[in-house]
Amino acid sequence: MDNTLITILLSAGILLVIAVLMALILGWANIAFHVPTDPKVAAVNEILPGANCGGCGFVGCSEYAEAVANGKAAATLCGPGGQDAANRIAETLGLDLGQTWPFKAVVHCSAKREQRLKQTPYFGEQSCAAANLVPGIQGCVYGCLGYGDCQDVCEYGAIDMVDGLAIIDVDKCTGCRACEKACPRGIITMIPFKTEEVLVVTCSNKDKGVLVKDVCTVGCIGCSACTKPADGLIEMVNDLPVVNYDKDSSGIDLHKSIEKCPRESLMFIGLHKDKKKAQGEPERIEANFATTVDQTEWRG
């Protein structure tokens, strides 16, 4: 036989033999090493976004999928997946969800840098974790330091440092809790947004009013003026108001509580700020000189 032909036949033959051998070995291994996996776990894993952010409290999306499929975790813990993922998981597993709300991060401080008193110049590492170790860096030992550890760790661009205060855009927040873990003072917490606007206490200073006035121009002085219009929704704990988010807030006008507050310790934080602006705010009334001038009848 011709050499070329033999080479071709030999090549094809050897490759075929290797392929068949590998196929047999892998086929055997597939059965011999089979680990029974729950198809439900795979189905839930498909639904999850796969970001492995850890916001649900599990190490990765596959861990959470396993926990949910085995009924060991609620279906609503995925922040980035949101309500959509929770609904689809419930549908896949045949669960009844009940009412769920998105949990978003809020900062419990409203003092911008010029409103904080007794600050000392700091030239160390520009990080909240480092600055927190310096005694006397600012008067208030509870409030925001403003060096942006939370902003650095947010992968969704939801946090902005404005005048040394962290401002969270709740529309961009996915509830992954990275900022909650990053804040060394622990003043970022997750709040359920049951309505479009939620009342948030924007102060974390647990000291008495006279001491607060020394360290901050806008911190809570514990006067309890906000608790009366709130009809039991707000309680004073440690000289600080605490909002009970589990209670039904319909019928209570919390704007009054904000009005009663002599400082800036209560605030409404809302979803879809832009939509609200487009719908709610009154338009600026422009003076129309034509109507006031031209239609006046001159009486000579």
Partner 1 sequence: MDTIVSLFLIFIGAALINNFVLHYFVGICPFIGVSRRVDLAFGMGCAVTFVIGIAATLSWTLTFYILRPEAPLSAWLWNSMGADPTTVVDLSILSYIAYIFVIASSVQFVEMYVKKFFPSLHRSFGVFLPLISTNCAILFACLEIMKNLQGGDQLWGLHHALALSLGGGVGFTIAIVIMAGLREELELCDVPKALKGPGIALLVAGILAMAFMGFTGVDRGVADAIRTLTQH
Contact 271, 196 (CB under 8 A): yes
Q: Which two tokens stand for residue 178?
A: 């990275």
CA-CA distance, 95 to 126, in Å (whole number)?
47
CA-CA distance, 64 to 181, in Å (whole number)?
19
Q: Which two tokens stand for residue 99?
A: 């009412």
Q: Closest CB to partner 1 among 10 and 242? A: 10
Min CB(11)–partner 1 separation in Å: 6
Q: Closest CB to partner 1 among 107 and 183? A: 183
Contact 143, 111 (CB under 8 A): yes
Min CB(63)–partner 1 separation in Å: 9
Q: Closest CB to partner 1 among 18 and 162? A: 18
Q: How far is CA 77 from CA 28, 97, 132, 242, 264, in A?
A: 39, 12, 31, 24, 32
Q: Closest CB to partner 1 among 26 and 293? A: 26
CA 103 to chain centre: 7
Q: Closest CB to partner 1 among 35 and 293? A: 35
Min CB(135)–partner 1 separation in Å: 22
Interior angle at CA 225, CA 222 and CA 229, nearest 5: 140
Min CB(142)–partner 1 separation in Å: 26
Q: Closest CB to partner 1 among 153 and 211? A: 153
Q: Closest CB to partner 1 among 36 and 251? A: 36
Contacts to partner 1 by CB under 8 A: 1, 3, 6-7, 9-11, 14-15, 18-19, 22, 25-26, 29-30, 33-35, 125
Min CB(65)–partner 1 separation in Å: 14
For every residue of 12-63, DSSP letters joined together read HHHHHHHHHHHHHHHHHHHHHT-----HHHHHHHHHS------TTSSSSHHH
CA-CA distance, 31 to 29, in Å (whole number)?
5
Min CB(130)–partner 1 separation in Å: 9
Min CB(28)–partner 1 separation in Å: 10
Which candidate, 99, 110, 126, 91, places its Cα nearest to that of 204? Answer: 110
